[in-house]
Chains A and B, each alone.
Chain A
Amino acid sequence: MQFLNEIKHDKFAIISAITLAIILPGVFIGAPIVARFYDVMRVEPTVLPISPAMSGTILGLDEMGRNQLHLLIIAARNSFFLAFCVTFFSFALGLCVGIFSGFYGGKVDHVIMRVTDTWSMLPFLMVVVVLLSVFGKTVFNFILFFSLFTWVFRARLIRAAALSLRESEFIAASKTLGTPNIVIIFRELLPNLTDVVVANFVLTLAANIGIETGLSLLGFGLGYDFPSLGVMLQNAVNPFYLQYFWWTWVPPLALVVIMMLCINFLGNALQRTSRSQAH
């Protein structure tokens, strides 16, 4: 409820919420429908992409003869879904480690933080790229490796929040009453972490959409058989396509930017709410 009050005064957040409320259901409902009635992945090479006007479709065809509008809907769903999974699993891992480390503190905390420090020094994008090229660019691998190398950043964030909550009066009170730690964690700590987690989850989600797009665009993320916005944008690094075939790269590019902007604005509004509640 507080969130709604907060964003009422934030024009950007309202616009973003409305835009997302149109895009996401549209894409998630549209994708299965499109997949049911059209064989999107069927390839009919046409040498060059065909413009919307010439092909009589809304967004034209690419050089494989695939309908760009259908592809865009499915790609947007895939990109969002993938980014969501990656964010979810990396938060799940980070939440476990962060709470454990922050709540118990002391020596355990010290060791865990040293490990995460070192882990976070690895250039995770490069490691993920190498692992994907060794073990295959499947969706499962992508989610697995990405979560495995990004949880450290979430763990540090959650640990800091848990550490400051540990000192608060209501947790001390609960401890004096003899509540077992595990109950304290689930009943006192977790509910109070929700604000921080939700706000950062949304912001990370936006960043992950961008990273997935960047990697796939370079050909190091997902393969051609899994249409995502990044895969669609692979053409955009080709100067020839950049100059002459706008319909192959403008729509996916615009969609990526719009989705990331909206999710970011929402995340920032959420973050402000959680801060104002904290004070």
Chain B
Amino acid sequence: MKMILKRVLILIPQLIIISIITFTLGAMMPGDALSGMIESGVCEEARQKQRELLGLNKPLPARYVDWAGGIMRGDFGQSFTHRRAVSELIRERAANSFALALLTLILTYSIALPLGVLAGRFSGTLIDKGILLYVFIALAMPTMVLGIFMLMTFAFGLGWFPPRGSVDAIIVAEGSLGEILLNRLYRLILPASTAALVSTVGIIFMLRANIIERKNADFAVFARAKGVPEGTVFRRHILRNSLIPVAAGLGFAISGLLTGQLFIEQIFHYPGMGSLFFSAVRAQDFAVANAIIIIFASLSALGMMLSDIFVMLADPRVRVV
């Protein structure tokens, strides 16, 4: 319990360092909260007065405190291209991104777990070799390239799925809630399965290696010597022990998932946080870009903490802190 508390406390300096780095990044960028708000005709004097009022003339450390305090209250500043609060913009996109991430995660694990178990159980056979071939090819395929393949075959070639967007405009206007949800799900399938095909690779590899390593571990040999049938040895002893690291990797998977989504959202024109980020960078709207960076970084910090805690719970011998 004390260890877990200690691990949670580490999160605080981590978040502070992340915020300092992000703030420095923001300070290096051209433009500030004022640059998009005022007309070009406003005289210099009024501009300075407004800057004073917004606290933009303070020294950097004071501005950092203001900025960090704002984030604590959920205020990420103003977007000058959209002329709205950044937090509002992000809230709109966050639900879309979350849906995509969730479906990707479900698909990833439902593909990776059976394949990893099969490859490990029957290592060296044709099944294992087939699965490994898939792993290598998926490893060599950049997300974008796979995305283009999927678009070509399933959207343009076969016409099964629409190539872009998150929901049909007509259905939003006229359909019932159930129809809207169904349409959203239907449009999520192509981007989510593309992302999943890429992200399964690591899990399959890890699960396979874990199982092979534990096949001849002392506890497995002992169970066999006791006369336990091989199937039971595999299920009760080998598989259980092999799944612990995989489950612990779930937290680490978050940062990979977020990065993967950047590309996926862009190629499928899916309105999530990744595409918001890219359009913000293109428009040089760095308040938005910065906010998304700090959110992603905090999420992966959180994910890493959860992973560490899970490992501590599953195996108390491990010292993470």
Contact = CB atoms under 8 A, between A and B. Distances in A.
Contacts of B250: none
A6 interface: no
Q: Among B139, B267, B277, B293, find the residue whose CB has the most chain A CB atoms closer than 10 A.
A: B139
Interface string A112-123: 001101100111
Nearest to B303: A121
B309 to A, nearest CB: 15
A117 to B, nearest CB: 7
A122 to B, nearest CB: 5
Contacts of B292: 126
B156 A239 contact: yes
Nearest to B151: A242
Contacts of B151: 239, 242
Instruction: Please report whether the interface of chain A is mostly helix, strand, loop or mixed according to DSSP.
Output: helix
A236 B149 CA distance: 10
B97 interface: no
A239 B258 CA distance: 25
Interface stretch (B21-29, B50-58, B239-247): B21-29
B144 A214 contact: yes
Instruction: Please report whether the interface of chain B is mostly helix, strand, loop or mixed according to DSSP.
Output: helix
Interface in A112-148: 114-115, 117-118, 121-123, 125-127, 129-131, 133-134
B142 A130 contact: no
Nearest to B10: A114
B281 A129 contact: yes
A259 to B, nearest CB: 9
B278 A218 contact: yes
B17 interface: yes
A20 interface: no
B145 A122 contact: no
A130 B25 contact: yes
Contact of A123 (B13, B148, B258, B282): B258
A249 B21 CA distance: 38
A257 B145 contact: yes
Contact of B156 (A122, A125, A243, A265): A243
Interface stretch (A22-30, A68-76, A99-107, A205-213): A205-213
B234 interface: no
Nearest to B14: A118
Chain B: interface size category: 35 or more
Contacts of B263: 214, 218
B301 A210 contact: no
Nearest to B137: A261
Given A121-B301, A239-B156, A265-B136, A126 B145 contact: no
B158 to A, nearest CB: 13
B142 A260 contact: yes
Contact of B28 (A117, A134, A261): A134
B28 A121 contact: no
A122 B21 contact: yes
B18 interface: yes
Q: Among B140, B141, B258, B296, find the residue whose CB has the most chain A CB atoms closer than 10 A.
A: B140
A125 B137 CA distance: 23
B33 to A, nearest CB: 17
Contacts of B108: none
A213 B151 CA distance: 18
Contacts of B152: 242
Contacts of B14: 117-118, 121
Nearest to A123: B296
A253 B148 contact: yes
Contacts of A261: 136-137, 140
Contacts of A129: 277-278, 281
Contacts of A218: 144, 263, 266, 278
Interface of A: 12, 114-115, 117-118, 121-123, 125-127, 129-131, 133-134, 206, 209-211, 213-214, 217-220, 233, 236-237, 239, 242-243, 249, 253, 256-257, 260-261, 263-265, 268
